[in-house]
Amino acid sequence: MARTRFVQGLDELRARLLRMGGLAEQAVDRACQAYLDRDLSRCQMVLEGEAQINLAEREIDELAFDLLAMQQPMAVDLRFILAVTKINSDLERVGDQAVNIAERVMDMVELPAVPLPVDIARMSAAVSAMVRRALESFIEGKAELAQAVLEMDNVVDRMRDEAFITLVKTMNERPDVTRQALDSLLVARNLERVADHATNIAEDVIFWVRGADVRHNVQPETPAQQEVTEGH
Residues 18, 82, 129, 143: which binds its own copies (CB under 8 A)? 82
Q: Which of 25, 57, 103, 153 lies at the binding interface for its own copies (CB under 8 A)?
A: 57
Kindly tell me which residue out of 13, 85, 131, 138 binds its own copies, with binding defined by CB under 8 A: 85
- Strand runs labelled E in the chain: none
- Asked if residues 154 and 206 have their Cβ atoms less than 8 Å apart, the reply is no
List the one residue out of 161, 162, 180 whose CA is nearest residue 171. Answer: 180
Distance CA 185, CA 196 (A): 17
For position 122 contacting its own copies by CB under 8 A, the verdict is no
Per CB under 8 A, does 11 bind its own copies? Answer: no
Q: For residue 36, state whether it binds its own copies (rule: CB under 8 A).
A: no
Closest to 12 (Cα-Cα) out of 75, 95, 93, 81: 81
Smallest distance, its own copies to C-beta of residue 26, A? 19
Chain-centre distance for alpha carbon 64: 19
Question: Nearer Cβ to its own copies, position 13 or 37?
Answer: 13
One-character DSSP codes across 95-125: HHHHHHHHHHHHHHHTS-----S--HHHHHH
Nearest-angstrom CA–CA distance, 29 and 156? 16
Does position 172 interact with its own copies (CB under 8 A)? The reply is yes
What's the closest the beta carbon of residue 147 comes to its own copies, in angstroms? 18
* Residue 210 lies near its own copies (rule: CB under 8 A): no
- Residues engaged in binding its own copies (CB under 8 A): 51, 54-55, 57-58, 61-73, 75, 78-79, 82, 85-86, 89, 168, 171-173, 175-176, 178-179, 182, 185-186, 189, 213, 215-216, 218, 222, 224-225, 227-228, 231-232
